[in-house]
Amino acid sequence: DTEVTQTPKHLVMGMTNKKSLKCEQHMGHRAMYWYKQKAKKPPELMFVYSYEKLSINESVPSRFSPECPNSSLLNLHLHALQPEDSALYLCASSTGLADYEQYFGPGTRLTVT
Amino acid sequence: QKEVEQNSGPLSVPEGAIASLNCTYSDRVSQSFFWYRQYSGKSPELIMSIYSNGDKEDGRFTAQLNKASQYVSLLIRDSQPSDSATYLCAVKGGGFKTIFGAGTRLFVKA
């Protein structure tokens, strides 16, 4: 089973709202990732967790706040977003941080109004 | 700045032909190379991974790696209209970050 699930599939939020994106995997992977993808662009790394600890933060604005409550779950808390934050948010997981294949979830399509 | 370069396309091939997708990378210490397929509006799907020089075949797909030339390619044999998608080349170097190319759009004409 190489499935990564993400909820919700679609999210529309205002600039003053607080919302969260959720990602789950049951493959025993110990590395989990958040990516942001704009139309016709490649995925852009935001955060990486390894063994539930934040390993990489790609200078993402503080209005995005990641959380890894356990080895299977990854959340992305959103607050005071801007319209330019509208994008496809992708979660991925891999066995570890080294040379392992990453498996992506279906993504959450976020629109900020 | 570590880079992964791909021709954006579109690459158009007739059904049944071989599609050849190319990728070059700048970081010489890169060790892991991946090809993802992404349909419009969907998430990337892993097709192939390759770690050593030479060819790796999986069904209709063949990945080729030449570390000396810093070049990796994907061949799709007997191309089908369902192969029409954007193909992303991804490279993992000495750090823990995977760098994606901008992708090549492939159209397979029936």
Mean per-residue pLDDT over chain A, rounded: 94
Q: What pLDDT is recorded for position B97? A: 86
Report pLDDT for A98: 76
> Mean pLDDT across the stretch A4-23?
96
Distance (Å, rounded) from C-alpha A45 to C-alpha A60?
9
Question: Cβ neighbours of residue B19 under 8 Å, at least 6 residues apart?
Answer: B11, B13, B75, B76, B79, B83, B106, B108
Q: Please indicate whether, in this complex, the C-beta atoms of A104 and B97 are within 8 angstroms of each other.
A: no
For A87, the closest chain B residue by CA position comes to B41
Selected residue of B7, B42, B52, B96 to mutate for chain A interface (largest A Cβ count, 10 A): B96
Residue B28: what pLDDT? 87
How far apart are alpha carbons B22 and B72 in whole angstroms? Answer: 6
Query: β-strands B4-6, A108-112: how paired?
Result: unpaired
Confidence class for position A99, pLDDT limits 50, 70, 90: low
- pLDDT band, residue B90 (cuts 50/70/90): very high
At residue B96, the pLDDT reads 76
Residue of B nearest to A90 (CA): B43
Please tell me which residue of chain B has the smallest CA distance to A33: B97
Burial string for A90-107 (b: 16+ CB within 10 Å, else e) reads bbbbbeebebbbbbbbbb
**Residue B64 near residue B11 (C-beta atoms within 8 A):** no
Q: Which of B43, B51, B98 sits opposite A105 (nearest CB)?
A: B43
Closest CA to A76 of A97, A96, A95, A54: A54
Q: Which residues of A touch B (CB under 8 A)?
A: 41-43, 45, 48, 50, 55-56, 58, 88, 90, 97-107
Give the model's confidence band at A56: pLDDT under 50 very low, under 70 low, under 90 confident, else very high: confident
